[in-house]
Every structure is written in structure tokens, then in C-alpha cells.
A = this chain, B = another copy of it.
Amino acid sequence: MKTATRADEWMTLLQREGYRQTAARRAIVEVILASQRALEPMEIFECGRKQYPGLGLVTVYRTLEKLEELGLVQRVHQPNGCNMVLRATQGHQHLLICTHCGQAVYFEGDDLHPLFERVAQGSGFDIQDHWLQLFGLCAACQKNPGEN
């Protein structure tokens, strides 16, 4: 399966950084890679336990730290939670999130620099960073408004 291959990559990257390959970490990595949406640590713990019943919640937190450090996952802020974890993407991309099922899709940000210029001039700020996130209904949830 595809996610297994990607999980291998992540495990190798962990090892390359001096961390060890363990069953607990693999379970966590596979849960994150298999998910289309950002997950809370508790959800990762619960799903991971199905695959590796000995898994502890503390290990989830510790592994997330390392994956974030490696840039493999990203913390996502949502109205319903601000410590949600999603696989990261390369380059500067923004998120589009389904308000119904949570599905998270990355998209290439437009060039917002004209806006930044304007705001910088108006405010005197030196603008360094920005957050942009869109919310809506994904195609599937538009068709099945009742589901879930």
C-alpha cells in the first residue's frame, strides 16, 4: 500500500536524525498518513491503538514533537481545536478545510504581496508572515449534506 511506502520514508528520516524505529512510532506515522484531515493527539492515540494496542498517549505527544521538528507534520488551527496535526506539504501552501468532514486540502497561495504592501503602508508594520485558511464544503459533503 502507498501509505506504507510513505511511512517507510518517514521512519527512515527519523532514523537519519538519530531517532529509533519503533512499532509505536510506525503506528502513529501510519495513522497520520492515512488521514485526509487534521487529527487531535487523542484521535491519533485511539486509531494507533487499533494497530498497536500497547501504544501510550504520551508516546503520541513525543512522536508528534519529533515529526514536527522534521517538518513532516504541521499543527493546524481550526475552530474546533488548535492542536490538530496534519501531514505537511512542500513549499508555501495554504489550507482549504471542509467544515463538515474536516478534509484538508493544500492549495498554492495567490500572490498576496500587493495586499501586504498596502497594509504595511497604512499601518507602519513590517510584515513578516501570514496565515490564510479557507473553509467550505468539499464536493462529497455538498452531495450528502445529511451524512455523518
Residues of A at the B interface (CB closer than 8 Å) are 77, 82, 96, 98-99, 105, 107, 110, 112, 114-116, 118-120, 122-139, 142
Contacts and interface: CB of A to CB of B under 8 A. Distances in A.
A36 to B, nearest CB: 13
A68 B145 CA distance: 29
Quick one: which of A77, A129, A131 has the most chain B CB within 10 A?
A131
A118 to B, nearest CB: 7
Nearest to A114: B110
Contacts of A105: 123, 125
Given A96-B119, A118-B110, A125 B136 contact: yes
B123 A142 contact: no
